[in-house]
Amino acid sequence: MAQRPRAGDLPAQASTAQLRRFAKRLAPWAPVIVLVLLCLTLGLLNPRFLSADNFVRLARSASIPLVLALGGTFIIILGSIDLSVEGVIALTAVALSMTVTNDRTDLSLGILGIVIALGLGGLMGFINGFIHVRLRIPSFMVTLGMWFIGLGVATILTQGIAIRVQDPMVRGLVLERFLGFPYMVWVALIALAVAYVIQRYTRIGRYMYAIGGGEDIAKLSGIPINRQKIIMFTLAGLFYALGGIMAGAQLGQSNALIGQGRLFMTITAIVVGGTALSGGVGGVGNTFIGVLIVAVLDNGMVLLGVSPYVQQAVQGILIIIAVAISLDRSRLRVVK
């Protein structure tokens, strides 16, 4: 027969239950708490971290990762994965540099060049989604292929030589400021607002969570699964293209390797912010905090003189810990 709990064990069990409930209530705020503690620690270790100039530098460095991570957040909430980030950045940045004023072609389309780059990113995202749902190929395989297609086409177009961007409007995203911040920071915040509206106030935002929470149940509820996935991949492509445009403006030139390393930064920021890789949990607000955590950590390590190799190791440890904490093992399955 099972033994009854002794009287002395009851207070301990009650205390453990209270701690678990407290931890559960605190979990959604964990990324914010980490961000605050990180800022306070770095501020104590190096007072320059809290300076106004460093704050502007921090905002500028976080703007492109934020835009990229917004697109990736949609796909991960959907329960899928998108590895095409670097390929889309490369091809759209090269397309931008070749269609606005530059040192390689006679084209000078101005804002039309930006529209072309955005349209190209949206098209690449649409192709990702279409192949994924129509041919029933796992999203990570489709997007991995698109990554290398984008890099390959960008390399052919540039012939391995960087194209210098000379368009004053594009360069103005970095060189001109409003309220002390470069225009690219404000563009990133506008993108954040748009992503939040899509997530919070539109039908496709609600469908996204429903599919990520349980695709079978969503299908039985009448949600158009395939169409929704294609829409979300297309939106992600548009955000990646915007990131590519901003990257070209920041560097003042474009080449096939302009997006190198951006995928890891994007995924890290998303999962550190609390968006679960299993889908259906998280959001663009979480991603915003995650981007700030990664940007603050990188900025702080630079100010402290930490080796770049150590920085990469810290980022790797960070993403492993974040995934271990955020992953819902009760819903663990092969990534779609």
- Beta strands 253-254 and 163-164, pairing class: antiparallel
- What proportion of the chain, given as a percentage, has pLDDT over 70? 87
pLDDT at residue 37 in the model: 86
Distance CA 323, CA 327 (A): 6
- Domain for residue 37, yes or no? no
The more confident residue out of 38 and 242 is: 242
Report if residue 23 sits inside a domain.
Answer: no
Q: Do strands 177-178 and 181-182 pair parallel, antiparallel, or not at all (unpaired)?
A: antiparallel
In a domain, 241, yes or no: yes
* pLDDT tens string 137-147: 999 999 999 99
Contact indicator for 258, 234 with CB cutoff of 8 Å: no
Tally of domains within the chain = 1
Looking at residue 14, its pLDDT comes to 57
Q: How many angstroms separate the CA atoms of 257 and 262, rounded?
A: 10
Q: Would residue 22 count as lying in a domain?
A: no
Query: What is 220-246 written as a DSSP string?
Result: HTT--HHHHHHHHHHHHHHHHHHHHHH
pLDDT at site 326: 58
Confidence of residue 102 (pLDDT cuts 50, 70, 90): confident
CA distance 33 to 17: 22
Residue 30: inside a domain, yes or no?
Answer: no
The whole-number average pLDDT for the span 37-41 is: 87
Residues of the domain holding 293: 46-327
In CATH, what number is assigned to the domain containing residue 187? 1.10.3470
Alpha-carbon span 319 to 314, nearest angstrom = 9
Q: What is the mean pLDDT of residues 89-114?
A: 91
Residue 1 lies inside a defined structural domain of this protein: no
Which segment of 110-114, 215-219, 332-336 scores lowest on mean pLDDT?
Answer: 332-336
Instruction: Provide the pLDDT for residue 17.
Output: 63
User: What does the pLDDT average to over 70-93?
Assistant: 94
The model's confidence at residue 204, banded by pLDDT at 50, 70 and 90, is very high
Asked if the structure places residue 19 within a domain, the reply is no
Mean pLDDT along residues 244-251: 92
For residue 119, the model assigns a pLDDT of 95
d(C-alpha 62, C-alpha 200), whole Å: 23
Reference 256, options 164, 150, 171; nearest CA is 150
Domain assignment present for residue 153? The answer is yes
pLDDT at 332 over 70: no
Place 62 in a pLDDT band, splitting at 50, 70 and 90: very high
Tell me whether residue 178 is exposed, middle or buried, using C-beta atoms within 10 angstroms of its C-beta: 0 to 12, 13 to 18, 19 or more: exposed
Report for 63-77, 204-218, 305-319: range of highest mean pLDDT: 63-77
pLDDT of residue 328 exceeding 60, the answer is no
